[in-house]
Chains A and B, each alone.
Chain A
Amino acid sequence: MNRVVGAALSVLAAGATLGVLAVVRASDHFDGPRATANAQADITDVFCFTSPENPSNVVLAMAVTPYASASSSFSTQVDYVFRVRLVTAPVPLTMDPTVLDVSCSFDRSTPQVVRCSAPQGLVARAIVGDTTAGDAGPGSPMRVFAGVRSDPAFFDRQGSLATIASNRTTFAGQNAFAHANVLAIVVEIDAAKAFLPRLEAGAIADAGLSDDAGIDARRMPVLAVAAETLVRPVPQ
């Protein structure tokens, strides 16, 4: 029995050691055992910027599924969520607790259809792969794209791995994600319609803050944004 226990521990130790080496990947690729084991929910990158096509809009984008193939699909059991809060004061960083999330989910049809919902009842749908967002232009309150894209990450994975392991910068300029693809969700949304009504509704006053805190939040409609993937419970 001791030999069996020893063998089991050896396998675990080897797995743990190699696991440490394997999880240091890129922007957010393969960041931890659970995300690595569930590629459909493994967030690789998040972007957030004002729209180049319409300055009233903000663009929220997340990529998942490292090394996606043409047959890769979004999970029907995962909620792909952009967590959004309104910054009410910069110093110290203070956010209004009101939830302003944008949540996207996918059905089982072929091709899949993505549906995203946002504050103020905004909803957008699109067929996966449709780069026109169902002909929703930049003037739409909300539009969404979902589908395969070139991985926007460029990162020397091996160099970073070696750098951390040796505590010495050891980069060789090898992009681990050259010519790779990901699954991307891109939501463009009218910021004033979706998020800023909360500002008008008195988020700053509700937070008990004054403009003396630093930058005037009313002239700085700043959002805090992150992405999360959540597996929905299976009904019993």
Chain B
Amino acid sequence: MTDPLLPEPMAVLRFRRETRDTFTLELDARPRGGFRFAPGQFNMLYAFGLGEVPISISGDPLRPAVLTHTIRAVGPTTRALGRLKKGDCVGVRGPFGTPWPLDEAQGKDLLVVAGGIGLAPLRPTILSALSRRPAFGRVCIAYGVRAPAELLYAKELERWRGRIDVDLEVTVDRGDPDWRGHTGVVTKLLRQFELDPPNTVAMLCGPEVMMRFAARELEGLGVPEPRIYLSMERNMKCGVGSCGHCQLGPTFICKDGPVYPLTKMTPLMSVQEL
């Protein structure tokens, strides 16, 4: 990264619709010699003439030739990104932020808890862990979404579920008549894994309220608070801790986060004014 405030144009290699309002953009990083990042980091994506949005990198860190983001269209900029086609250009700044502590999880059980679009920032972690699977104890994934039609990476979920060395449980808040899986909140799934709680590293990403409830459940199960990590989201703008938009108490989420140990976030998340 040369000037962190200067967007770099990158071409769309592939556009894939994931759900009604969510899509995955694969960008061509070959002309720049690949795009290296650590799982958990994010980029600022610039829809030319409209604006920038912070989007977590959701691709495989071992495939630096392709830079992947999964995006939910909720505002003008993300909707514009959703209209891009193969060959179109998007501005990219990054990578920014702190990574998931995958090295700390080595030799321990790894628990990934994702809610909704929160699976996207965790996907690089899962892919990394699976690429060196023997380095971990159990690898467990709990994933919750609103409804069956909103599941991300459906084919990949099937592949992960088919592995004998991965425990994957999926739940939906609202099950339709054809749904045969779990219905209910993601926190319910956590009791089902045969984890060694004191020897578990948990990584949580999703709506903040979901992470609070999941963290409480994990502490109840005996997972030590310093081994619970979560990815926070605020109004990231500059990406380098200069503008102050993403300040949360004494920390800037774009620079000091987005991945934090729960011990740092517990006192801040309980302050509603922050």
A and B interact? no
Chain A residues at the B interface, C-beta cutoff of 8 Å: none
Chain B residues at the A interface, C-beta cutoff of 8 Å: none
